[in-house]
Amino acid sequence: MKFKAEINVMPLKALLDPQGKAVTGSMKNIGLPEITNVRIGKHISIEIEAASKEAAQKKAEESCKKLLANPIMEFFEISIEESK
Amino acid sequence: MKFGVVIFPGSNCDHDMIYVLRKIMGQEVVELWHKETSLQKCDMIILPGGFSYGDYLRSGAIARFSPIMEKISEFADKGGYVFGVCNGFQIACEAGLLPGALLHNSDRKFHCKNVFIKTQNNHTLITSGIPKDKALKIPIAHGEGNYFNDAESLKQMNENGQILFRYCDEKGNITPEANPNGSIENIAGVCNAKKNVFGMMPHPERASDTELGNTDGKFLFESILSLVQA
């Protein structure tokens, strides 16, 4: 079966996110000062061939731990759907 | 002494490093393409600066899985000397050869300028020949040089003498103003616990030729040669 995983890799909450900070500053300039604390990460979408959703979840987690995210600076969230 | 300078797609300080080691320091140097799996009996492996794989995903994240990196990890595990500069430092951290990570500069700018760094441990292969308490003038050129590690790891690194360099001012004072990129504790360079793998963001190879008007980087290469050849 084929699955599709949508992965968000985000800077750890305790760390400064310079990109997010710059965009937060721009919100004021476009007249949206009520928008604060912008955090910017990466959205990665992958396809996985696996026997079950659990197996696909495991593979996706492995890819995050080994390559897609660096735990010293980032955390990740995965959501998996079967590809139609 | 035989040096191997690894060339990844996107390395761009490889030839500066080769020039300094070969022409200025008079050593044997081989170029190691990242797809090779032989380290050609080198005494020290250098991971040079640049933008390996275009810094895709994270700086150094993809280069660390190049075929040669597995051999370099084995070499380092056995006590072999590895030295990463700038992108090479980022690659060594991603590969787990060095502790910590390099984040985007806290002020969001790419900095290309001379900075000053102060040696924190004069008893390592790359620092032993540096005059004690001298503020070395060495250039940086990076957008992601903001060194970070968690508090517990930093404590261990400090206790174990793994902090090699801190950013300082011209007089050697380690101040927040002298920190160009937001690095935690002003850290500019570190080594592993066994002290055979070294990494730093400033470029000593860009400060080793009198023609460039700045030779403070040469202290590091002289340190390496004096200890290994002693």
Residues of chain A with pLDDT under 70: none
Q: What is the pLDDT of residue A7?
A: 98
Q: Name the active-site residue from B34, B168, B191, B205.
A: B205
Interchain contact, A72 vs B65, CB within 8 Å: no
Q: What is the pLDDT of residue B129?
A: 95
Contacts of B90 in chain A (CB under 8 A): none
Query: Measured between alpha carbons, how far is A37 from A17 in angstroms, rounded to an integer?
Result: 10
Hey, where are the domains in chain A? 2-82
Question: Which of A9, A72, A83 has its CA nearest to residue A49?
Answer: A83
Contacts of B106 in chain A (CB under 8 A): 16, 18
Hey, where are the domains in chain B? 2-229
Residue B172, min C-alpha distance to chain A (Å): 27
Q: What is the pLDDT of residue B227?
A: 80
pLDDT over 90, % of chain B: 97
Nearest CA in chain A to B61: A67
Mark out the alpha helices in B97-217 (DSSP H runs). Answer: 151-159
Alpha-carbon torsion angle B15, B64, B99, A12, nearest 10: 120
Q: What is the pLDDT of residue B163?
A: 98
Where residue B24 falls among pLDDT bands split at 50, 70, 90?
Answer: very high
Residue A13, min C-alpha distance to chain B (Å): 13
Known catalytic residue at B205:
yes
A15 CB near a chain B CB, below 8 Å?
yes
Q: What is the pLDDT of residue A36?
A: 95
Known catalytic residue at B86:
yes
Tokens, residue B26: 């008079």
Q: Which CATH number does B2-229 carry? A: 3.40.50.880
Q: What is the pLDDT of residue B228?
A: 73
Test mutation, B148, B152, B153, chain A, max A CBs within 10 A: B148
Using alpha carbons only, give the angle B230, B119, B185 rounded to the nearest 5 degrees.
Answer: 145
Query: Measured between alpha carbons, how far is A49 from A17 in angstroms, rounded to an integer?
Result: 34
> Beta B197-200 vs B187-191: how paired, if at all?
antiparallel
- Picking from B100, B103, B105, the nearest residue to A15 by CB comes out as B103
Residue B60 backbone class (left: φ over 0; alpha: ψ -120 to 50; beta: rest): left
| Homologous superfamily of A2-82 | Phosphoribosylformylglycinamidine synthase subunit PurS (3.30.1280.10)
Where residue B230 falls among pLDDT bands split at 50, 70, 90?
Answer: low
Sequence-distant (≥ 6) Cβ neighbours of residue B13 within 8 angstroms: B48, B49, B50, B85, B86, B87, B203, B205, B206
